[in-house]
């Protein structure tokens, strides 16, 4: 397993009250000593006791042991400040920037030079929706795209599987640790993604402690789908929560808008006009006139347009290029 001392330091710092992503991004660069980190924590953390070096090292040892128990389920951990921490796309506030990723597979698929396109959608697509999504994904792969999605049932699974059948590479972003793939029914699909030189990533190494926490993790997963994609394509989705368990589609498309990530929808004005499963697609088209619209009539040209999109990419300046340990 590959990880840096910096990654363990960041995970340890996050265990203290009041310490989150925004604080990590603002205060840690990857080259701090433990003494410096402890001093910063005593300045800003909301604990009711003085944090000692011994306390930090004790927590750090526990986290390292927890991560090593996952050997065989993941290849490594990478954190902000590491030389191979992937750059995110878009303009993002500190509190929403990724700071730690647990991964299995080819982490280089997240490089800025890679053309990553997210394809997402609802959990229960009909046959027509599945067919056109497969055609879009196949065209994207033919044009050199790596397909990003969330390993969920329905449109996510269609995107991953069609990519694999097209001999392409795909990235699955998970709301759970890599030793507890969700949904469990897609464990074999996750393994197939890795066997075919793809990538699994998550921000978590521990299971959620409640349904509420897990729900929040799904939202965070949806944010990463936007952050690690050059464009994001909505296959199909209802527009209201009470019509389907597919809020991730709406959230991911909303994050993309907030981050200035180019968006597209699959939609045929003739065949889809009365289909409620395209309600969100129609809503996004009304709200954003310049959104790309994909259908069979313009498939090749629109895919080429999407592939040419160049979102803002935050360059990741490595602070410690040689701190990786191989376990």
Enumerate the domain spans of the chain.
2-101, 108-308
pLDDT digits (tens, 9 = 90+) for 34-62: 999 999 999 999 999 999 999 999 999 99
Tell me the pLDDT band of 321, cut-offs 50, 70 and 90.
Answer: very low
pLDDT at 251 over 90: yes
Average pLDDT over residues 18-28: 96
3-state class (DSSP) for residue 192: helix
Rounded to whole angstroms, the Cα distance separating 273 from 104 reads 41
pLDDT at 315 over 70: no
Helix count (H) and strand count (E) of the chain? Answer: 11, 11
pLDDT at 90 over 70: yes
Contact 173, 221 (CB under 8 A): yes
pLDDT for position 313: 82
Closest CA to 262 of 307, 203, 195, 208: 307
Average pLDDT over residues 118-128: 95
Task: Report the share of the chain in percent with pLDDT over 70.
Answer: 93
Sign of the Cα pseudo-torsion (265, 113, 141, 190, in order): negative
pLDDT for position 311: 81
Element (H, E) at 146: strand 146-149
pLDDT at 317 over 50: no
Average pLDDT over residues 14-35: 96
Average pLDDT over residues 54-72: 97
Average pLDDT over residues 254-272: 96
Overall fold of domain 108-308: Rossmann fold (3.40.50)
Average pLDDT over residues 57-68: 97
pLDDT for position 242: 56
């Amino acid at each position: 397993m590959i990880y840096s001392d910096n990654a363990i330091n960041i995970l340890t710092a996050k265990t203290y009250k009041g310490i989150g992503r925004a604080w990590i991004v603002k205060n840690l660069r990857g080259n701090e000593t433990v003494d410096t980190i402890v001093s910063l924590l005593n300045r800003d953390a909301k604990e009711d006791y003085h944090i000692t070096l011994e306390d930090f090292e004790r927590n750090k040892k526990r986290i390292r042991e927890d991560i090593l128990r996952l050997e065989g389920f993941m290849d490594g951990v990478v954190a902000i400040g590491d030389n191979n921490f992937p750059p995110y796309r878009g303009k993002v506030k500190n509190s929403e920037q990724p700071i730690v990723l647990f991964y299995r597979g080819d982490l280089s698929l997240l490089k800025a030079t890679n053309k990553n396109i997210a394809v997402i959608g609802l959990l229960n697509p009909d046959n027509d929706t599945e067919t056109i999504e497969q055609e879009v994904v196949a065209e994207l792969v033919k044009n050199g795209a790596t397909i990003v999605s969330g390993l969920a049932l329905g449109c996510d699974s269609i995107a991953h599987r069609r990519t694999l059948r097209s001999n392409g590479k795909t990235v699955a972003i998970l709301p759970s640790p890599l030793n507890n793939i969700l949904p469990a029914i897609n464990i074999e699909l996750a393994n197939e993604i890795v066997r075919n030189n793809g990538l699994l990533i998550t921000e978590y190494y521990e299971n959620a402690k409640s349904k509420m926490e897990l729900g929040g993790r799904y939202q965070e997963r949806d944010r990463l789908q936007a952050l690690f994609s050059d464009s994001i394509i909505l296959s199909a989705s209802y527009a209201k929560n009470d019509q389907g368990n597919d809020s991730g589609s709406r959230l991911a498309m909303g994050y993309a808008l907030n981050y200035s990530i180019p968006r597209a929808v699959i939609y045929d004005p003739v065949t889809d006009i009365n289909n409620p499963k395209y309600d969100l697609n129609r809503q996004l088209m009304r709200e954003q006139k310049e959104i790309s619209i994909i259908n069979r009539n313009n498939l090749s040209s629109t895919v080429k347009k999407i592939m040419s999109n160049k979102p803002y990419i935050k360059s990741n300046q490595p602070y410690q290029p040689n701190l990786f340990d191989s376990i």
